Amino acid sequence: MSIFDVRRQPRAHRIIQRALSSGRLPHAYLFHGPDGVGKELMADRLARILLCESPIRPAEPPEELGEFTGPLCDACGRCQDCVLTRAGTHPDLHLIHRKLHRYHPDPTVRSRKGLELTVDVIRHFVIEAVGTKPARGRAKVFIIREADRITSQAQNALLKTLEEPPAATFLVLLAAGLDKLLPTTKSRCQPVPFGPLPTEFVAAKLSELLTGISPEDARSYAAMAQGSLGMAQRYCEDGLESYNERVIETLGRLGVVSVTRIAKQWLDDAKALGAEYRNRDKGISDTEAQRRGLKAIFSLVAAWFSDLLHISTGGGEAIVNTNHARRLAAARIDPRQAALAIRAAVDAERHLERNASTQLTVEALVTRLARIAPATPG
């Protein structure tokens, strides 16, 4: 249970270790980067250090750190505080997330859907809680999940707390993207970038975590997830490979089978995928679930064409669809066609984000693709 459980994030480790050893830890951190690469694990382990009675100095510098030479810091793992943080019951470690509205004293707040971190939740669970004394006296840590879903109103309410929290109070905001955060929020936090994990590492982790997964599938899910272990695990749970199989199959029939038929299949698949997402996140509507499912289908389309682009330009090592090598080799399209097709898929994804009709977006994409890369007979 060490901070070095967070793997393959040397830059983030170096920033945090430097701050810990200097004794000048910022009051507010903003961990940003793709989902499923270790941001929350790092926040949890940092909290353990901050709450630990007697943090230790590990002698062996982990390979994660590369050339880092300064002193290292980690939680002792044995004190009462460490026991409590490990059990998830430390009274001074506050995990803030969208679903907390269910525990809000106001019934109207409780009755909401919890799609965002609203001002009521932030005020009650962060701002007011920051004002009280730590229960065990050492420090208080607030980890805010999905900080990019804090409403602007709530971000404004939080500014003062981010700027000057009481002594020994630390906030760690976790965000996949930075564009939804106000400049005033960002400027009050020390940013810590988290990068995508190496595909081979994700594949190895997947094989370790999921018994029975074949090395080919592990490799393929890892590549699809583009460096996110969390995503790769979810893709695996959703059986995304079988959707991918169908997407690739339909792409081989572009211009042969009608646009309506392909569009219908993608929409049906998006619905089925959406149902998986709803199982995990009950807060989202059916429409939103299908929309997300469709985005996943579009990213499979983009992945297929980006593989073809890589192959046609001689960069075969970045390929996602390693277990469809034969089909990739058989698909004859030139780099220009592949680039146009990727652009079409990305455009369609953007349209969805702007709440365009799912049906029209799919049909427009299939029409465009059939024009760019029609199936070659034989």
Q: Is 370 in the site for Zn ion (CB under 5 A)?
A: no
If the CB atoms of residues 41 and 127 are measured against Zn ion, the closer one turns out to be: 41
Please name which of 247, 194, 236 lies closest in space to residue 35, comparing C-alpha atoms: 194
If the CB atoms of residues 89 and 108 are measured against Zn ion, the closer one turns out to be: 89
Task: Supply the minimum distance, in Å, between the C-beta of residue 266 and Zn ion.
Answer: 52
| C-alpha angle 320-322-326 in degrees, rounded to nearest 5 | 125
If the CB atoms of residues 50 and 247 are measured against Zn ion, the closer one turns out to be: 50
If the CB atoms of residues 82 and 341 are measured against Zn ion, the closer one turns out to be: 82
Task: Supply the minimum distance, in Å, between the C-beta of residue 58 and Zn ion.
Answer: 13
Tell me which stretch binds Zn ion (CB under 5 A): 25-33, 47-55, 341-349, 360-368: 47-55
Task: Supply the minimum distance, in Å, between the C-beta of residue 73 and Zn ion.
Answer: 11
> Rounded to an integer, what distance in angstroms lies between the CA atom of residue 170 and that of residue 172?
7
Residue that has been written with the tokens 């967070």 in this structure: 6
Tell me which stretch binds Zn ion (CB under 5 A): 68-76, 221-229, 240-248, 329-337: 68-76
Q: Is 79 in the site for Zn ion (CB under 5 A)?
A: yes
Task: Supply the minimum distance, in Å, between the C-beta of residue 109 and Zn ion.
Answer: 36
Burial of 80 (0-12, 13-18, 19+ CB in 10 A): exposed
Please name which of 159, 126, 129 lies closest in space to residue 144, comparing C-alpha atoms: 126
Task: Supply the minimum distance, in Å, between the C-beta of residue 71 and Zn ion.
Answer: 17
198: which 2 tokens? 């190496």
Tell me which stretch binds Zn ion (CB under 5 A): 75-83, 86-94, 319-327, 347-355: 75-83
Tell me which stretch binds Zn ion (CB under 5 A): 20-28, 74-82, 143-151, 258-266: 74-82
DSSP 8-state symbol, 92: T
If the CB atoms of residues 76 and 272 are measured against Zn ion, the closer one turns out to be: 76
| C-alpha angle 49-50-55 in degrees, rounded to nearest 5 | 45
Element of type H or E holding 206: helix 199-209
Neighbours of 23 (CB within 10 A): 6
Q: Is 46 in the site for Zn ion (CB under 5 A)?
A: no
Task: Supply the minimum distance, in Å, between the C-beta of residue 49 and Zn ion.
Answer: 8
Binding footprint of Zn ion, residue count (CB under 5 A): 5
Task: Supply the minimum distance, in Å, between the C-beta of residue 78 and Zn ion.
Answer: 6
- Which residues have a Cβ under 8 Å from the Cβ of 174 and sit 6 or more positions away? 31, 32, 39, 40, 43, 143, 144, 145, 146, 147
DSSP 8-state symbol, 50: H
Q: Tell me how far CA of residue 58 lies from CA of 3, 70, 72, 76, 82, in angstroms.
A: 11, 11, 6, 9, 16
291: which 2 tokens? 């929309």
Q: Is 284 in the site for Zn ion (CB under 5 A)?
A: no
* Whether the Cβ atoms of residue 34 and residue 228 lie closer than 8 Å to each other: yes
Q: Is 50 in the site for Zn ion (CB under 5 A)?
A: no
Q: Is 56 in the site for Zn ion (CB under 5 A)?
A: no
Residue that has been written with the tokens 């499923």 in this structure: 36
* Whether the Cβ atoms of residue 30 and residue 147 lie closer than 8 Å to each other: yes
Task: Supply the minimum distance, in Å, between the C-beta of residue 237 and Zn ion.
Answer: 34
Tell me which stretch binds Zn ion (CB under 5 A): 17-25, 26-34, 82-90, 271-279: 82-90
If the CB atoms of residues 49 and 157 are measured against Zn ion, the closer one turns out to be: 49
- Phi/psi at 191 (5° precision): -75, 140
If the CB atoms of residues 85 and 233 are measured against Zn ion, the closer one turns out to be: 85
Q: Which of 28, 46, 47, 82 contacts Zn ion by CB under 5 A? A: 82
If the CB atoms of residues 76 and 284 are measured against Zn ion, the closer one turns out to be: 76
Tell me which stretch binds Zn ion (CB under 5 A): 69-77, 166-174, 276-284, 299-307: 69-77
Please name which of 191, 110, 185, 111 lies closest in space to residue 152, comparing C-alpha atoms: 185
If the CB atoms of residues 77 and 252 are measured against Zn ion, the closer one turns out to be: 77
Q: Is 93 helix (H, G, I), strand (E, B) or coil?
A: strand
Q: Is 76 in the site for Zn ion (CB under 5 A)?
A: yes
If the CB atoms of residues 43 and 96 are measured against Zn ion, the closer one turns out to be: 43
Binding site for Zn ion (CB under 5 A): 52, 75-76, 79, 82
